Amino acid sequence: MRETDIQAALRILRREVSQWQEPVVDVVAKESSDPFRILIACVLSLRTKDQTTAEASRRLFSLASDPSNMLRLSRRRIERAIYPVGFYRTKAKQIHEICRRLLTEYDGRVPDSLEELLTLKGVGRKTANLVVTVGFGKPGICVDTHVHRISNRWGYVKTKTPEDTEQALRRKLPRRYWITFNDLLVPFGQNLCQPVSPYCSRCKLVKYCDQVGVTTSR
């Protein structure tokens, strides 16, 4: 994909994305712009399907929606609320530790910088970037498996890891697309540009795509 093609590709995706289910963090953000809810939803979403994450988030936030009240819940009660998200016991422990740090070091508020967010237990670059962009509306590029795969499949970047992809996109992707890039590519990757045998015959971006690594398509 040539650098000039990215604008056309993302324009098309903006039109197409409405037919697919929104990423769960966007759904949480629409229900509440609270960075704390977005942070916890991001933690719950790791290795968990969106529908499961959405339901678990609603159950948990009905019990507690701020660090102070969340910390009053026992880990066992958090586990019961978020089950069956992946690694629910580990995530319950992480949620407790995150809330403790927020209360002792940040006066109960979620920090708005990538560097500080990365010091929180269970928060990686994907989650930190999502909180910064969705929770605070600040520039950032969230790279998950879909963004990493598709950016390379398009031939827009040539990288080995999501972390490398983030840095490559920060250098190359026009800043005005940073916040929305994940919102567009995640549903696209879940529904059309799938890891194995993507639906290239139905894709309106195929003329811009280098189809790097695609050996079988539908």
User: Which pLDDT value is given to residue 139?
Assistant: 93
User: Which pLDDT value is given to residue 100?
Assistant: 98
17, 183 in Cβ contact below 8 A?
Answer: yes
Half-sphere exposure of residue 66, counting CA atoms within 13 Å on the CB side? 7
- Give the Cα separation of 3 and 179 in Å (integer): 18
181, 173 in Cβ contact below 8 A?
Answer: yes
Q: Helix-strand-coil percent breakdown of the chain, rounded to 5?
A: 65, 0, 35
What number of H helices and E strands is found in the chain?
Answer: 13, 0
User: Which pLDDT value is given to residue 184?
Assistant: 94
76-117: pLDDT as tens digits: 999 999 999 999 999 999 999 999 999 999 999 999 999 999
Catalytic residue among 144, 160, 164, 172: 144
Query: Is there a common fold for 5-21+141-208 and 32-136?
Result: no
SS3 (DSSP) at 16:
helix
Domain boundaries, the chain: 5-21+141-208, 32-136
Record the pTM. Answer: 0.88
Could you tell me which CATH number the domain at 5-21+141-208 has? 1.10.1670.10
Residue at 50: amino acid letter: D
Distance of CA 163 to CAs 39, 43, 175, 202, 209, Å? 19, 18, 18, 30, 22
Half-sphere exposure of residue 13, counting CA atoms within 13 Å on the CB side? 24
Q: Is the pLDDT of residue 21 over 90?
A: no
- Give the Cα separation of 130 and 128 in Å (integer): 5
Distance of CA 147 to CAs 25, 162, 189, Å? 15, 8, 8
User: Which pLDDT value is given to residue 4?
Assistant: 83
CA angle, corner 151, sides to 148 and 153, nearest 5?
Answer: 100
User: Which pLDDT value is given to residue 9?
Assistant: 96
142-190: pLDDT as tens digits: 999 999 999 999 999 999 999 999 999 999 999 999 999 999 999 999 9
Share of the chain above pLDDT 90, in %: 86
Catalytic residue among 26, 50, 91, 126: 126
2-13: pLDDT as tens digits: 888 999 999 999
Q: Among this protein's residues, is 204 annotated catalytic?
A: no
**14-23, 80-89, 134-143: lowest mean pLDDT where?**
14-23
Residues 6+ apart with CB under 8 A from 32: 61, 65
Q: Among this protein's residues, is 93 annotated catalytic?
A: no
CATH of 32-136 given 1.10.10.60, 3.40.30.10, 1.10.340.30, 1.25.40.10 = 1.10.340.30
- Give the Cα separation of 100 and 70 in Å (integer): 9
- Give the Cα separation of 23 and 185 in Å (integer): 10
Burial class (CB in 10 A: 0-12, 13-18, 19+), 130: buried
